[in-house]
Structure 1
Amino acid sequence: MQNISDASLHQLVEEIAQLLVSQQKHLVTAESCTGGWVAKCCTDLAGSSAWFERGFVTYSNEAKIEELGVAPATLEKNGAVSLSVVEEMALGAMAHSNADMCVAITGIAGPDGGTAEKPVGTVWIGWAMQNAGVHSICFQFAGDRNTIRKQAVFEALTGIVKNARD
């Protein structure tokens, strides 16, 4: 478990801002377990309207279906915390926005909700770029609810930087 400071999150957002502004690109977020924390970090930076397009907080399965177009069959077959759902969230956010890139997050922050197959701390993060598909990673974070969520935000922002550079 890493200790992540608010300053390190802010530094990542500043780097994202520079990259996206220089490329004239916009970001959309689709968040579940982080409850809009990535969008909050982005909009904490003055001038973020130049590169942050919008954020979706789709905590319930119904919201994932209604706001992002996640297929009910995907949720039923795989559960909300899965590769297929995070990728449908990312692609749905891209389809329902004017953004050039997306980060989507779904996971189990705890303290309840974990299973043997998907323990507390399981978080899927997917990054999508316009016309480039989705790249997703499953993380297993440790700690309490806040720590798990903060680690997810950090990894999401780190991935945005990496994808914006590629």
Structure 2
Amino acid sequence: MTAAARALALLAESHQTVAVAESLTGGLVAAELTSVPGASKSFRGSVTAYATALKRDLLGVDGALLERRGAVDPDVALQMAAGVRDRLAAGWGIATTGVAGPEPQDGQPVGTVYVAVCGPAGGALGAGKVTALRLNGDRAEIRRESVRSVLELLVGELSDNARAQDTEQNGGN
């Protein structure tokens, strides 16, 4: 089972939804999710914000942060995930931002990628989680690995969230 299929199954089991914010992956995460039959039960939609101004204007990423650090930044990834979650009214938001190449960007070398997940507001994961990646390969390989990584991050957080809820419902330990 692919990471996309696992993520969607976990979301469907818990009656939750996900939205995607993408930069370097240019829609590949959304394409991977929607390739799974029944994705519409849990997939709300996506925003491909390739231009930095769109990250600010559509996803609510802090403009001062973007000016100070550029778009390839862990805090930008986290704000993208939170922004798409909020704007598309999903329980979960995931995001990708980075440098697929062939040239460095914002002072970051090719292969620098940040993937993020932001869970339900007010929940334990409301603050979200970011993973920094240093990927090798050509542009296509970097983008493919970014898709795989953000979906695996989502699966991990959904699994942790489900375990936490099970523990809560069963009275602790």
TM-score (norm 1): 0.90
Report the structure number with the largest CA radius of gyration: 2
Match of 1:109, SS state, is coil
The CA deviation string for residues 4-43 of structure 1, in whole angstroms up to 9 with x for no partner, is xxxxxx6211111211100000010000000010100001
Match of 2:7, SS state, is helix
Q: Could you tell me how far apart the structure 1 residues matched to 2:131 and 2:148 are?
A: 14
Q: After TM superposition, give the deviation of residue 61 of structure 1 in Å.
A: 0.7
What's the counterpart of residue 62 of structure 1? 53
Equivalent position amino acid for 2:115 in 1 = I
Percent identity among equivalent residues? Answer: 32
What's the counterpart of residue 42 of structure 1? 33
Q: Which runs of 5+ in 1 are unaligned?
A: 1-9
Root-mean-square deviation over aligned CA pairs: 1.3
What's the counterpart of residue 133 of structure 1? 127
Q: After TM superposition, give the deviation of residue 110 of structure 1 in Å.
A: 0.1
What's the counterpart of residue 95 of structure 2? 104
Q: Could you tell me how far apart the structure 2 residues matched to 1:65 and 1:15 are?
A: 31
What's the counterpart of residue 91 of structure 1? 82
Aligned length: 156
What's the counterpart of residue 139 of structure 2? 145
Larger relative contact order, structure 1 or 2 (CA cutoff 8 Å, min sep 6) = 1
Q: After TM superposition, give the deviation of residue 161 of structure 1 in Å.
A: 0.7
Q: Could you tell me how far apart the structure 2 residues matched to 1:78 and 1:61 are?
A: 11
Q: Could you tell me how far apart the structure 2 residues matched to 1:51 and 1:61 are?
A: 28
CA contact (8 A) 1:78 1:84 kept: no
Equivalent position amino acid for 1:99 in 2 = A
What's the counterpart of residue 7 of structure 1? none
Q: Could you tell me how far apart the structure 1 residues matched to 2:33 and 2:8 are?
A: 8
Match of 1:24, SS state, is coil
